[in-house]
Amino acid sequence: MAYDIMVLGSGPAGLAAAVAARSRDKSVLVIGNPWQDSPLARAEQVDNYPGLPGRTGMELLEEFYRHAENAGAEFVVGKALSLLAWNGFSVTVGSQVCQGNALILAPGVVRSAKYPGEAEFLGRGVSYCATCDGMLYRNRPVVVVGLAPDSPQEANYLHSLGCQVVYVSPRQPQGLEDGIPYVKAGKLAVQGGQTVTGLEADGALLPCAGVFILRRAVAPTDLLPALETEEGVIRVDRRMATNIPGVFAAGDCTGGPLQVSKAVGEGHVAALSACEYLDHQLTKERKETHDPFQQGDL
C-alpha cells in the first residue's frame, strides 16, 4: 500500500508533520529510529516551548508521539537505508519497503563526516546496509565499522551468511558473536583500486572485499543524492519544498535555529505543502483522464 505521505524522522518536526497531515485526512507513515532517539530526549528541562514550560525533553517527545499516534499516523521503527524516487517514493527499512506519494524529510542533523575513500568506493565495496548487500559478500572477507547500537547484530548477520567478518569500532561492542574479531580503532580510511581491497584502521591494513559503515542514521543526501543543500543543510523555500518535486523538509535538517518550536512549525508547513502537492497531482490526473484531446479521442 502506498501512503499519501511518508515522513522520515520521528523527532518534533516529523511528529508535527504527521499530526498536520492527518488533520487533512491524508494517510501518513512515519519512518524513524525510536522517538527516544531524538536529541531532545537528552534535554533535562525545556523552558522555551510555548504553553508547556518545565517539561523534560523526553516528556515533550512522548506527548508529540502520542498525539501523532492518536491522530492516526502509522509508524515503522528502524533506520531508513535507501530511498528510491520513482513513481512516488520507496524507502527501505531493514527488509521492508515502504511507499508513499509525497515525502517529508525530518531527520534532524545527521553528522555525516565521511572517512577517506568512503564516498569514492560507495557501491564498489562500501555499503551502508548489511541486509541489502550482505549476500554479495558471502564467503568473502568484510569489515564492519560499528557506529550504531545495532551494528553488532548486523555483523552477526553477515557472519551467519558466511562472510569472514572483522568488527572495527572506537568502543567495545555489546552482543558481538565470539567468532568475530574486534579491532579497536577510530582513524579509518578505505583503500582500493577498481573496488575495495582493504580498510586502514589506525595505521594497520585490514584486507577485505567489503566495508559496511553502519552509523545511527543515513544522511538524507546519501539517501537522495539529487537533493540540493546550501552550507550543509537542505535547501528549502518558504513552503518547505526542496528542489525535488514532492519532497519537503523540516526541522534541524534545514538549518538553525536548532529549536523545537522551529522544528514543529516547519513540520506543520511541510505537511500542508505536501497535502497541497498531492491534491494538485490528483486534479492533474483527473483532468488528463477526462480531457478528450489528451486521450486522442478526437
Site residues for ligand FAD per CB under 6 A: 9-14, 32-33, 37-40, 42-43, 46, 48, 79-80, 106-108, 110, 217-218, 251-252, 258-261, 263
At closest approach, how far in Å is the CB of 148 from ligand FAD? 10
- Which is closer to ligand FAD, CB of 33 or CB of 169? 33
d(CA 190, CA 209): 11
Of how many residues is the chain composed? 298
CB-nearer residue toward ligand FAD: 164 or 259? 259
Q: Which is nearer to ligand FAD, 46 or 190 (CB)?
A: 46
**Distance in Å, CB of 210 to ligand FAD, minimum:** 21
DSSP state of 168: E
Nearer to ligand FAD by C-beta: 47 or 178?
47
Q: Decide whether 23 or 82 has the Cβ nearer to ligand FAD.
A: 82
Cα–Cα distance between 262 and 236 in angstroms, integer?
14
> Shortest CA distance to 62 belongs to which of 12, 8, 18, 5?
12
Give 188 or 263: the residue with its C-beta nearer to ligand FAD: 263
Residue 232 Cβ, how far from ligand FAD at the closest point, in Å?
15
Q: How far apart are alpha carbons 46 and 264 in whole angstroms?
A: 14
Q: Smallest distance from the beta carbon of 145 to ligand FAD, in angstroms?
A: 17
User: Dihedrals φ, ψ of 83, to 5°?
Assistant: -140, 130
Q: Which is nearer to ligand FAD, 14 or 134 (CB)?
A: 14
Judged by beta carbon, residue 42 or residue 187, the one nearer ligand FAD is 42
Q: With contact defined as beta carbons under 8 Å apart, do 218 and 234 qualify?
A: no
* Residue 132 CB, nearest approach to ligand FAD (Å): 13
- Asked whether 27 and 7 are in contact (CB, 8 A), the reply is no
Residues 6+ apart with CB under 8 A from 282: none
Measured from the CB of residue 262, what is the shortest distance to ligand FAD in angstroms? 7
CB of 57 to ligand FAD, least distance (A): 6
* SS3 label, residue 84: strand
- Are the beta carbons of 129 and 81 closer than 8 angstroms? yes
Q: How far is the CB of 267 from ligand FAD (least distance, A)?
A: 7
Q: Which amino acid is at 168?
A: V
Burial of residue 58 (CB within 10 Å: 0-12, 13-18, 19+) is middle
The Cα 65–Cα 17 span in angstroms is 11
On whether the CB atoms of residues 79 and 216 are closer than 8 A, the answer is yes
